[in-house]
């Protein structure tokens, strides 16, 4: 077959392929991925080799920043208003017709109920109309496996997921086989950063008005003195891999209140020491995450859970975009002989590509592919894998001190 004989979709597909793949007789399987679990409406079409044929993303970030937090009904309305366009854009950019898709994969858990509902409702209508199989996706599994689209990472590997809704450490043993080593006992790391940023009124800072809380804190921390404030490390006396961030937020809130009184600053105005507070908060939060990750590595090693050859730590979720956390975790992985992999920022935050890739992984293994969708439901709460956090706690592994000395 010659290129001139190909239809538009195939030509568009060829643009992204090596000639060998383009001319092979069997066309790769194609999955449309749809993400609406929180505040991003995302869609992407990818092939089984991980080539992204087309994608589209509508972020609700600015609306939620302006409102001072995510209001579920607003998130739902924005998903409803945008999902059809976002999916059509991803399809148009890929040059793929719905009939050419092998399956549709959509996030059904965990997430905001009202947001998940929009993605699921749209997807079920779509698969029924085009008579396609449906693949329900676990959002956290998708975050954990995105890296395999970009690098050849074999199971098992350790994964740290830190986002606005979750903070967890798990051992990935297979595409749907995880051991949960630790998770947050209160709020997620990204949520804490967002709340601290709000309390500091960073939206009113000229360089931060369009940034998420975590991004704003990272930016300001670069010029701050982290030693100007001392915040106690959470749960330093507990030898497990769980996280807690609410206590840190409380300490930071008290320090901000004290400074506001000293400086006579009104709510909404910026303190003179915002950069120092950002640097100290970021350092304490990152050190806590690094320590728990270090313990998880030592636990896995002590139980022989990681391979001898090229043991790997994967870090993903929105907070994993943070350079300070990446450099700190590199100190931990260098000290323990692990290989550190963080997907590029655009794949750490929520997107349709990661959902489509999880669909490809499932398709390849023939797992969770549904041709009848009557019983599919969304689940706002969904644990990741088998919970062995108490076994980790019982092991009570002491982590040797590491100098986490990072220049912002
Ligand atoms: O994974 P994600 O896009 O959505 C959830 O599933 O939650 O993560 C969003 C979170 C927000 O809390 C945001 O403040 C945080 O990730 N975040 C960051 C950075 N970029 C985004 N936190 C720290 N540093 C960053 N550069
Ligand atoms: Zn996420």
The set of residues, in sequence order, having a beta carbon less than 8 Å from that of 296 and lying 6+ positions away, is: 158, 160, 169, 181, 182, 241, 392
Paired tokens of 282: 């970021």
pLDDT at 406: 67
Shortest-distance atom of ligand 1 to CA 143: 1
Q: Are strands 103-109 and 157-162 parallel, antiparallel or unpaired?
A: unpaired
Beta-strand ranges (E) seen in 14-102 are 30-35, 40-47, 52-59
Paired tokens of 35: 């993400």
Q: Are strands 386-387 and 177-183 parallel, antiparallel or unpaired?
A: parallel
Shortest-distance atom of ligand 1 to CA 218: 24
One-character DSSP codes across 217-270: HHHHHTTS-GGGS--PPTTTT--SS-B--HHHHHHHHHHHHHHHHHHTPPTTSP
Can you tell me whether residue 393 is helix, strand or coil?
Answer: helix
- Which pTM does this prediction carry? 0.91
What backbone torsions phi and psi does residue 157 show, to the nearest 5 degrees?
-145, 160
Paired tokens of 299: 């636990």
Paired tokens of 95: 């040059």
pLDDT at 266: 86
Distance CA 347, CA 183 (A): 22
pLDDT at 6: 34
The set of residues, in sequence order, having a beta carbon less than 8 Å from that of 80 and lying 6+ positions away, is: 118
**Residue 62 alpha carbon to ligand 1 centre in Å:** 13
**Residue 363 alpha carbon to ligand 1 centre in Å:** 29
H helices present in 68-209, as ranges? 72-94, 113-130, 139-145, 147-150, 189-199
Q: Whose CA is nearest to atom 10 of ligand 1?
A: 164
Which ligand has its closest atom nearest to the C-alpha of 354?
2
H helices present in 271-344, as ranges? 274-302, 323-336
The one-digit pLDDT tens for each residue of the chain (408 residues) are 233 333 333 333 343 344 344 444 577 899 999 999 999 999 999 999 999 999 999 999 889 988 888 899 999 999 999 999 999 999 999 999 999 999 999 999 999 999 999 999 999 999 999 999 999 999 999 999 999 999 999 999 999 999 999 999 999 999 999 999 999 999 999 999 999 999 999 999 999 999 999 999 999 999 999 999 999 999 988 999 999 999 999 999 999 999 999 999 988 899 999 999 999 999 999 999 999 999 999 999 999 999 999 999 999 999 999 999 999 999 999 999 999 999 999 999 999 999 999 999 999 999 999 999 999 999 999 999 999 999 999 999 999 988 776 665
Query: Residues near ligand 1 with C-beta < 6 Å?
Result: 38, 163-165, 190-191, 193-194, 212-215, 218, 317-319, 321-322, 349-350
Distance CA 289, CA 297 (A): 12
pLDDT at 13: 39
Give the environment of ion ligand 2: residues with CB less than 5 A: 163, 350
**Residue 51 alpha carbon to ligand 2 centre in Å:** 21
Counting ligand 1 atoms within 8 A of each CB, the residue from 69, 144, 190, 325 with the most, and so the one to mutate, is: 190
Give the full edge-to-edge strand order of the sheet including 40-47: 52-59, 40-47, 30-35, 103-109, 134-138
pLDDT at 16: 39
Query: For residue 105, what are the β-bridge partners?
Result: 33, 135
Query: For residue 136, what are the β-bridge partners?
Result: 106
Characterize 150-180 residue by residue with b for buried, 16 or more Cβ atoms within 10 angstroms of its Cβ, and e for exposed. Answer: eeebeebbbbbbbbbbbbbbbbbeebbebbb
pLDDT at 407: 62
Which ligand has its closest atom nearest to the C-alpha of 197?
1
Distance CA 276, CA 209 (A): 19
**Residue 318 alpha carbon to ligand 1 centre in Å:** 3
* Cβ proximity of 384 and 180 under 8 Å: yes
Beta-strand ranges (E) seen in 144-222 are 157-162, 167-174, 177-183
């Amino acid at each position: 077959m010659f290129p001139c004989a190909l239809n538009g979709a195939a030509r568009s597909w060829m643009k992204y392929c090596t000639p060998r793949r383009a001319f092979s007789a069997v066309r790769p399987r194609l999955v449309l991925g749809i993400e609406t679990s929180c505040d991003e409406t995302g869609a992407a079409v990818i092939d089984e080799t991980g080539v992204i044929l087309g994608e589209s993303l509508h972020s609700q970030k600015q609306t939620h920043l302006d409102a001072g937090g995510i209001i579920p009904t607003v998130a739902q309305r924005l998903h409803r208003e945008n999902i059809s366009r976002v999916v059509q854009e991803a399809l148009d950019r890929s040059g793929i017709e719905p009939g050419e898709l092998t399956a549709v994969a959509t996030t059904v858990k965990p997430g905001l109920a009202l947001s998940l509902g929009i993605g699921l409702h749209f997807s079920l209508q779509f698969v029924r109309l085009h008579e396609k199989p449906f693949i329900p996706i676990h959002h956290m599994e998708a975050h954990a496996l995105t890296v395999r689209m970009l690098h050849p990472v074999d199971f098992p590997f350790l994964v740290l997921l830190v986002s606005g809704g979750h903070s967890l450490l798990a051992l990935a043993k297979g595409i749907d086989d995880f051991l949960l080593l630790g998770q947050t006992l209160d709020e997620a790391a990204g949520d804490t950063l967002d709340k601290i940023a709000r309390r500091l009124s960073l939206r009113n800072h000229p360089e931060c008005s369009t940034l998420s809380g975590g991004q704003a804190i990272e930016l300001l921390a670069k010029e701050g003195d982290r030693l100007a404030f001392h915040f106690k490390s959470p749960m330093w006396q507990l030898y497990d891999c769980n996280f807690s961030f609410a206590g840190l937020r409380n300490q930071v809130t008290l320090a901000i209140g004290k400074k506001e009184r000293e400086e006579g600053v009104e709510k909404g105005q910026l303190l003179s020491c915002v950069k120092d507070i950002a640097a100290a908060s970021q350092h304490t939060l990152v050190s806590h995450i690094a320590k728990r990750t270090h313990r998880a590595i030592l636990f896995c090693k002590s139980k022989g859970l990681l391979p001898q050859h090229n043991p790997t730590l994967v870090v993903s979720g929105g907070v994993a975009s943070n350079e300070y956390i990446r450099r700190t975790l590199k100190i931990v992985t260098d000290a323990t002989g692990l290989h550190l992999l963080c997907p590029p920022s655009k794949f750490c935050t929520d997107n349709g590509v990661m959902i489509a890739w999880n669909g490809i992984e499932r398709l390849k293994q023939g797992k969770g592919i549904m041709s009848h969708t009557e019983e599919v439901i969304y689940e706002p709460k969904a644990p990741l894998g088998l919970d062995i956090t108490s076994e980790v706690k019982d092991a009570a592994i002491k982590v040797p001190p590491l100098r986490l000395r990072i220049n912002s």
